[in-house]
């Protein structure tokens, strides 16, 4: 298990080998959210869009989830589900009205109660552990 479930002590370049002695054991999760529905590449037949997803942060609580419809220029707060438990997923929803038919990209990011916010890009590591880059889905709105 020496090379397993370990994360580099220093960031490296993608594909670059990492010495197992220069890694630490993973003992906590990064803050992360994902968009569960609608699925990436879907066509929706209404301009009213209902996004749903989950967020988690290991030992921390999810403080908020935000959604952007303009490539991260602005962020709007999603509604968090009432169910909350340490080490558990937190459900969230977001309602949005498309101004017209067309293609849209939605991104979601979470912030935990320790102030950690999901990054635009994740820190690379050889096994892909703790991947937590901002999630996105592309939708086609037919109206």
Q: What is the DSSP string of the chain?
A: -TTTTEEESS---TT----GGGEEE--SPPPEEEEEESPTT-EESSSEEEEEEEEE-TTSPEEEEEEESSTTSS-EEPEEPS---TTS-EEEEEEEE-SSSEEEEEEEEEEETTS-B--SSPPP-TT-TT--PPEEEEEEE--
pTM for the whole structure: 0.90
pLDDT beyond 70 at 126: yes
Q: Which CATH architecture has domain 30-141?
A: Sandwich (2.60)
Mean pLDDT over 71-80 rounds to 96
The pLDDT score that the predictor gives to residue 87 is 84
Using one digit for the tens of pLDDT, what is the confidence trace for 5-51? 888 999 888 988 888 889 999 888 999 999 999 999 999 999 999 99
Alpha carbon distance 46, 142 (integer Å) = 6
Note whether 51 and 97 are within 8 A (CB).
no
pLDDT beyond 70 at 2: no
Query: 94 exposed, middle or buried (CB, 10 Å; 0-12, 13-18, 19+)?
Result: buried
Reading the block at residue 104, the tokens are 């849209």
Reading the block at residue 106, the tokens are 């939605």
Question: In which band, very low, low, confident or very high, does the pLDDT at 84 lie, cut at 50, 70 and 90?
Answer: confident
The pLDDT score that the predictor gives to residue 12 is 86
CA atoms within 13 A on the CB side of 79: 9
**Cα 94 versus chain centre, distance:** 14
pLDDT beyond 90 at 98: yes
């Amino acid at each position: 298990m020496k090379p397993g479930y370990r994360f580099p002590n220093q960031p490296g370049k993608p594909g670059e080998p990492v010495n197992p002695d220069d890694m630490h054991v993973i003992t906590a999760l990064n803050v992360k959210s994902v968009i569960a529905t609608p699925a990436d590449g879907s066509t929706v037949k209404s301009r009213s869009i209902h996004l749903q997803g989950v967020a988690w942060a290991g030992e921390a609580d999810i403080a908020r989830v935000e959604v952007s419809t303009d490539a991260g220029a602005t962020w709007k707060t999603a509604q968090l589900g009432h169910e909350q438990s340490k080490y558990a997923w937190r459900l969230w929803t977001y309602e949005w009205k498309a101004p017209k038919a067309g293609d849209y990209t939605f991104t979601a990011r979470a912030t935990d109660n320790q102030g950690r916010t999901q990054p635009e890009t994740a820190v690379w590591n050889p096994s892909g552990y703790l991947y937590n880059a901002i999630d996105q889905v592309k939708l086609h709105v037919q109206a």
